[in-house]
Chains A and B, each alone.
Chain A
Amino acid sequence: MHRLLPLLPAVPLLGAGLLVAGGRHLPRPVAEAFGCLAAATTAALAIVLLPHSSPALVEWVGGWFPKGGESVGIVLIGDGPSLGMAALVSLLTLAALAYSWHYFDEPPRGHAGTFPALILLFQGGMCGFAVAGDLFNAFVFFELMSAVAYALTGYRIDEAKAVQGALSFALVNSLGAYFMLMGIALLYARTGELAMAKIAEGLNAAAGHHGPDALTLTAFVLVLTGLLVKSAAVPFQFWLPDAHAVAPTPVCMLLSGVMVELGVYGVWRVYGTVFSGPGGLPAADVTRTLVVLGVLTGAVGAVMCWYQRHIKRLLAFSTIAHTGLFLIAVGVLKAEADDGAALYILGHAGVKAALFACAGILLDRYGTVDEFSLHGRARHLRGVGATFAVAGLALAGLPPFGTGLGKAVSEEAVGAPLTVVYVAASALTGAAVLRVAARVFLGFGPRPEEREGEEREEDKTSGADEEPETRQRLVRVPRTMGTVPAVLLAAALAVGVVPGFAGLVGHAVDEAGTWGVFSSVHWTATGVLLDLLSTLLAVGLALVAVTRPGLLSAPEWALPLRRLQSGHVGDYVAWLLVGTTLLGALALPAVLR
Chain B
Amino acid sequence: MGSESAVTAVTHVLPYLVAAYVFLVGCYGLATSRNLIHAVGCLAVCQSATYVLLLAVGYRDGGTAPVFSDIRPGSRPVVDPVVQALTLTDVVVGATVTALLLALTVQIAKRHGTVDPDELRELRG
Contact = CB atoms under 8 A, between A and B. Distances in A.
A157 B107 contact: yes
Range for the number of chain B residues in contact with chain A = 35 or more
Classify the secondary structure of A's interface with B. helix
B95 to A, nearest CB: 11
B36 A565 contact: no
Given A163-B104, A188-B83, A567 B123 contact: yes
Contacts, number: 141
B49 interface: yes
Contacts of A547: none
Contact of A171 (B82, B89, B101): B101
B78 interface: no
A194 B19 CA distance: 20
A242 B121 CA distance: 10
Contacts of A150: 97, 100-101, 104
A565 B31 contact: no
A147 B124 contact: no
Given A185-B57, A189-B57, A460-B125, A171 B23 contact: no
A165 to B, nearest CB: 6
Interface residues of A, number: 55
Classify the secondary structure of B's interface with A. helix
B117 A568 contact: yes
Nearest to B24: A577
B104 A154 contact: yes
Interface stretch (B1-9, B39-47, B68-76): B39-47
B122 A170 contact: no
B108 A167 contact: yes
B30 A171 contact: yes
Interface in A541-593: 562-563, 565-571, 573-574, 577
A159 interface: yes
Given A161-B122, A166-B104, 19 more contacts: A72-B82, A163-B104, A167-B104, A167-B105, A170-B97, A171-B43, A178-B49, A185-B54, A185-B83, A242-B123, A246-B123, A458-B124, A458-B125, A459-B125, A460-B122, A569-B30, A569-B39, A570-B31, A571-B31
A140 interface: yes
Nearest to B105: A167
B79 interface: no
Interface in B36-92: 36, 39-40, 43, 46-47, 49-50, 53-54, 57, 82-83, 86, 89-90
A181 B123 contact: no
Contact of B111 (A158, A175, A241): A158
Contacts of A167: 36, 101, 104-105, 108
A185 B43 contact: no
B90 A566 contact: no
Interface in B7-35: 19, 23, 27, 30-33
Contacts of B120: 164, 567-569
A244 B49 CA distance: 30
A457 B89 CA distance: 43
Interface in A179-199: 181-182, 185-186, 188-189, 194
